[in-house]
A and B are shown apart, each in its own frame.
Chain A
Amino acid sequence: SQTIHQWPATLVQPVGSPLSLECTVEGTSNPNLYWYRQAAGRGLQLLFYSVGIGQISSEVPQNLSASRPQDRQFILSSKKLLLSDSGFYLCAWSRTSGRINEQFFGPGTRLTVL
């Protein structure tokens, strides 16, 4: 069966510090991968998605970047965190069979920028 991991689970970082959140998927190959953010009182917003290694699409302009160095690894980064980067970050994956597919979500990382 497939599983998705995210770490760390929680993170407190000062403004201006770098960020690296990692997501890995097991039990499937060539998945679509997604990063979402949920800010307080708001729904989940798609930040990035990837259909293959090295292929990243950004949905909204922001202080963050994403990379996919391996088929089942998706990394969310920032060089300098802003207060507004605080939120709950979720990674998700879906199959790429050509149909619309359900997305499966990881446990999330709660980021607090002080």
Chain B
Amino acid sequence: AQSVSQHNHHVILSEAASLELGCNYSYGGTVNLFWYVQYPGQHLQLLLKYFSGDPLVKGIKGFEAEFIKSKFSFNLRKPSVQWSDTAEYFCAVILSGGYNKLIFGAGTRLAVHP
């Protein structure tokens, strides 16, 4: 079955540290990739997405992600985190041919300390 793996369940960083959250998926066909974020007390919202084209995509709030097809990966990065980046981050994929159905990873809780 298709799945999405997020390697880090909890990450703790200090402000200004660099961030990389891993995401791998298991599916050999065409995929569309997403990172969603849920800030404390807020709705789940889209951070960035990859459909096609440049494998390095930029999202809101200085986040970016790189799609590496050969590694089935879509890691999320930010060069310098802020306290306000404290949130839960979810990687997700939509498989080709589906009704836009998202398959989510388990999520990574990021805590940024001042």
Contacts and interface: CB of A to CB of B under 8 A. Distances in A.
- A pairs with B: yes
Interface of A: 32, 34, 36, 38, 41-46, 49, 51, 57, 59, 90, 92, 94, 100-103, 105-108
15 contacts: A34-B102, A36-B102, A38-B107, A43-B106, A44-B44, A44-B90, A44-B107, A46-B102, A57-B99, A100-B51, A100-B100, A102-B46, A103-B102, A105-B44, A105-B45
B104 interface: yes
Determine the main DSSP class of B at the interface with A: strand
Given A102-B46, A105-B44, A106-B43, A43 B100 contact: no
B32 to A, nearest CB: 5
A29 B14 CA distance: 44
A65 B104 CA distance: 21
Contacts of A38: 107
A92 B90 CA distance: 15
Determine the main DSSP class of A at the interface with B: strand
A53 to B, nearest CB: 15
A15 to B, nearest CB: 26
Contacts of A90: 44
A101 B90 CA distance: 17
A113 B97 CA distance: 36
B57 interface: no
Contacts of A51: 99
Given A100-B32, A105-B44, A44 B104 contact: yes
Nearest to B44: A105
Contacts of A42: 106
